[in-house]
Amino acid sequence: MWSSSQASTRGVIEVGRVEAGPSHFPKRPAPRNSSRVNLSRTYAIKSCSVSSRTGLCLGQCYHKKSSACKCKLGWSSQPLSSLRHHLRVHSSASEAVLTSQSDFTKLLVGNEKIGVLLLNLGGPETLDDVQPFLFNLFADPDIIRLPRLFRFLQKPLAQFISVVRAPKSKEGYASIGGGSPLRQITDAQAEALRKALCDKDIPAKVYVGMRYWHPFTEEAIEQIKRDGITKLVVLPLYPQFSISTSGSSLRLLEGIFREDEYLVNMQHTVIPSWYQREGYIKAMATLIEKELRTFSEPQKVMIFFSAHGVPLAYVEEAGDPYKAEMEECVDLIMEELEKRGITNSCTLAYQSRVGPVEWLRPYTDETIIELGQKGVKSLLAVPISFVSEHIETLEEIDVEYKELALESGIKHWGRVPALGCEPTFITDLADAVIESLPYVGAMAVSNLEARQPLVPLGSVEELLAAYDSKRDELPPPVTVWEWGWTKSAETWNGRAAMLAVLALLVLEVTTGEGFLHQWGILPLFH
Ligand SMILES: C=CC1=C(C)c2cc3[nH]c(cc4nc(cc5[nH]c(cc1n2)c(C)c5CCC(=O)O)C(CCC(=O)O)=C4C)c(C)c3C=C
Ligand SMILES: [Fe+2]
């Protein structure tokens, strides 16, 4: 999707911007920030584009099938050597041939201070943290999306829902040891990634920025500034992109970047999703293969991928690529297993729905019951949307779904562990970071159509631009108000009812009179 502007000097052709994402995304607008336009200038030498800043091959060469690349090398299974080769091809044109790995890494790193920012959700560390954590989550307009007119109600609504939900959530967290293990696991992943990068001659600091609990993204950014980082790779720890997860974190970052003098000038790039990376797919396949061996008849086990759900409207009305990426991810893992001679049947379903709206189907609980009815006897659950153990693996899958499966006639149950610090996976993340370095501060390739092992890249601004052609906000899940019993109307009726309940509650709390006092329910909230 590149276009040439045809302005040629000394055989150097300026290569234009990425014009558009895949068909379901709106056309990308021209960037507003003129300094970004300069950063994004790339130059083609002998028909491959080479970054004017780094001298590295950009764009077309990354595309395996690109006709524009005359190197005829494509992209090998060893990205580093491939990059080095491209570098040699291009740098010979600019009379600076690199010969060794250290030359290569020197060119990548130079005098820069490299940082990697891992973005994650965060989780309550104690039971007292649960309600404020839930408040932060529900106060996020990417989690509960109100029409602009009702935005002022976001916080009161978050307060209400978090208070009502807290007892149920606390029960869950109490059953897994009194808090979420997310912080500990993410810190361990950050340290493992730092070591893996160091082993590959890339000295980098790795930071953790959580969206809804400590260490908050804002805290990580402050540390990044104190450390004087000059090049930043932003890596959400969600393999697949969703507006509600990586999108929300990136939107937050975009706001922080826009406001901050230091950050506006710091070069950065984003790896928005990485589910199609070979290392990740292989690591997942290996975990599944290993767990299958624990069954007495492995070939009869159904592989049951269970992904965290999102409201259907995110996908159908806001263009969230989450479902498509999830399905492709499952296909890639199954292809990898097939290559290893494993041809078990598989299913994908969505878990953890919250609230009154419709979520992505099929639902995990309903699917388990159906499979039991169909006579499936062995099920291997594979959590697929997240790379750490968390409440929804440790409690929802291991306890609730297991119990449901056994009640539904399934005799043998297993569960694949989350990737955590699995070495193939961490090495692959390190490779993803290294492959992204030439793009830091430079215009990124259109990644959304790309296939593995391409690392999808783009600045925060560009990434969000892919979802928001007006650059105001991500599109709401329901874009028009429709009267009657349409899906949209039902959604809004539900929300209007929630707002009415909220108004009644506020009235009741302020006047001390109302139906909750009459029914003796209100003391629950004190
Ligand atoms: C890819 C993963 C996730 C998506 C997509 C996602 C969307 C999403 N989540 C909620 C509501 C809740 N999520 C909660 C916990 C939670 N969510 C994810 C991941 C995704 N969420 C994780 C890893 C966790 C657990 C963190 C931990 O502490 O271990 C919770 C709190 C727990 C509970 O009460 O059940 C809520 C609530 C929505 C509404 C949503 C999409 C709009
Ligand atoms: Fe969630």
Instruction: Answer yes or no: is 63 within a domain.
Output: no
Please tell me if the CB atom of residue 244 comes closer than 6 angstroms to any atom of ligand 1.
yes
| Segment 369-391 mean pLDDT | 98
Summarize pLDDT for 398-432 with one digit per residue, the tens. 999 999 999 999 999 999 999 999 999 999 999 99
403 in the same domain as 505: no
Instruction: Answer yes or no: is 348 within a domain.
Output: yes
382 in the same domain as 494: no
494 in the same domain as 399: no
Find all residues with CB under 8 Å of 446, minimum gap 6, and list them: 1, 2, 18, 19, 20, 21
Please tell me if the CB atom of residue 169 comes closer than 6 angstroms to any atom of ligand 1.
yes
Domain boundary among 383, 415, 447: 415
- Which pLDDT belongs to residue 195? 98
Partner residues linked to 50 by β-bridges: 43, 57
Closest CA to 386 of 355, 350, 411, 345: 350
Query: Distance between CA 477 and CA 247 in Å, rounded?
Result: 14
295 in the same domain as 375: yes
- Between the CA of 276 and the centroid of ligand 2 the distance, in Å, is 22
For residue 151 the two structure tokens come to 């935005």
- When pLDDT is cut at 50, 70 and 90, the band that residue 500 belongs to is low
Query: Distance between CA 213 and CA 220 in Å, rounded?
Result: 12
Query: Distance between CA 507 and CA 513 in Å, rounded?
Result: 8
Query: Distance between CA 518 and CA 484 in Å, rounded?
Result: 34
Q: What is the CATH number of the domain that holds 359?
A: 3.40.50.1400
Atom of ligand 1 nearest to the CA of 392: 25
Instruction: Answer yes or no: is 208 within a domain.
Output: no
* H-helix or E-strand spanning residue 95: none
Find all residues with CB under 8 Å of 424, minimum gap 6, and list them: 279, 282, 283, 286
Instruction: Answer yes or no: is 155 within a domain.
Output: yes
- Which pLDDT belongs to residue 464? 66
Please tell me if the CB atom of residue 401 comes closer than 6 angstroms to any atom of ligand 1.
no
Please tell me if the CB atom of residue 392 comes closer than 6 angstroms to any atom of ligand 1.
yes
Instruction: Answer yes or no: is 357 within a domain.
Output: yes
494 in the same domain as 411: no
Q: Which of 392, 397, 478 to mutate to test the pocket of ligand 1 (most atoms within 8 A of CB)?
A: 392
Query: What ipTM, to 2 d.p.?
Result: 0.94
Which residues span the domain enclosing 158? 124-175
Please tell me if the CB atom of residue 391 comes closer than 6 angstroms to any atom of ligand 1.
yes
Pairing of strands 12-18, 2-9: antiparallel
Burial class, 214, CB count within 10 angstroms (exposed 0-12 / middle 13-18 / buried 19+): middle
Summarize pLDDT for 289-333 with one digit per residue, the tens. 999 999 999 999 999 999 999 999 989 888 889 999 999 999 999
- When pLDDT is cut at 50, 70 and 90, the band that residue 458 belongs to is low
395 in the same domain as 301: yes
Q: How far is CA 257 from CA 201, 221, 232, in A?
A: 28, 9, 12
- What total number of domains does the chain contain? 3
517 in the same domain as 408: no
Q: How many Cβ atoms sit within 10 Å of the Cβ of residue 163? A: 15
Q: Which of 352, 387, 400 to mutate to test the pocket of ligand 1 (most atoms within 8 A of CB)?
A: 352
Instruction: Answer yes or no: is 293 within a domain.
Output: yes
| Segment 385-397 mean pLDDT | 97
- Which pLDDT belongs to residue 242? 93
- Which pLDDT belongs to residue 91? 39
- Between the CA of 7 and the centroid of ligand 1 the distance, in Å, is 49
Query: Distance between CA 82 and CA 86 in Å, rounded?
Result: 6
Query: Distance between CA 495 and CA 77 in Å, rounded?
Result: 50
Alpha helices in 276-422 (DSSP H): 278-292, 312-316, 322-339, 364-373, 391, 402-407
Query: Distance between CA 269 and CA 265 in Å, rounded?
Result: 13
Closest CA to 381 of 412, 409, 354: 412
Please tell me if the CB atom of residue 386 comes closer than 6 angstroms to any atom of ligand 1.
yes
- Between the CA of 265 and the centroid of ligand 1 the distance, in Å, is 33
402 in the same domain as 304: yes
Please tell me if the CB atom of residue 354 comes closer than 6 angstroms to any atom of ligand 1.
yes
- Which pLDDT belongs to residue 439? 75
For residue 238 the two structure tokens come to 């969600």
285 in the same domain as 407: yes
For residue 173 the two structure tokens come to 């967290």
Across 393-505, where does the E strand assignment appear?
Answer: 412-415
Summarize pLDDT for 325-356 with one digit per residue, the tens. 999 999 999 999 999 999 999 999 999 998 88
Atom 39 of ligand 1, residue of closest alpha carbon: 143
| Nearest ligand to residue 385 Cα | 1
Interhelix angle 101-109/79-93, nearest 10 degrees: 80
Q: Which of 125, 137, 241 to mutate to test the pocket of ligand 1 (most atoms within 8 A of CB)?
A: 137
- Which pLDDT belongs to residue 497? 61
- Between the CA of 394 and the centroid of ligand 1 the distance, in Å, is 13
